[in-house]
């Protein structure tokens, strides 16, 4: 499994709806509301045999209200 962190910027007024939809899809390990440039931060684990970009695009970024995302791939835990 590959741990990935994704920051999500939502259209104004949609953060709670986006967060609820993410929770319903049960994709994430952790989901936080954040301050700053992005509204949500989530951690998810992508199966090793899955294409990371395709997984994120098809299972997460089709949620209405998502305006932009920033994905951080991880390599090794220390």
Domains of the chain: 2-73 (3.30.70.920)
Instruction: To the nearest 10°, report the CA torsion of 2, 36, 18, 76.
Output: 0
Whether pLDDT at 78 is above 90: no
Q: How many CB atoms lie within 10 A of CB 30?
A: 9
Beta bridge partners of 45: 3
Whether pLDDT at 77 is above 90: no
Contacts of 45 (CB under 8 A, 6+ apart): 1, 2, 3, 4, 29
Three-state secondary structure call for residue 48: coil
Residue 16 confidence (pLDDT): 97
Q: What is the mean pLDDT of residues 25-39?
A: 96
Tell whether pTM > 0.85: yes
Strand extents, DSSP E, 1-78: 2-10, 28-33, 40-46, 66-73
């Amino acid at each position: 499994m590959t741990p990935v962190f994704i920051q999500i910027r939502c259209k104004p007024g949609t953060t709670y709806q986006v967060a609820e939809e993410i929770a319903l899809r049960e994709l994430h390990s952790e989901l936080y509301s954040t301050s700053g440039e992005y509204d949500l931060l989530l951690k998810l684990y992508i199966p090793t045999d899955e294409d990371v970009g395709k997984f994120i695009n098809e299972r997460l970024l089709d949620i209405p209200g998502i305006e932009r995302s920033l994905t951080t791939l991880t390599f090794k835990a220390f």
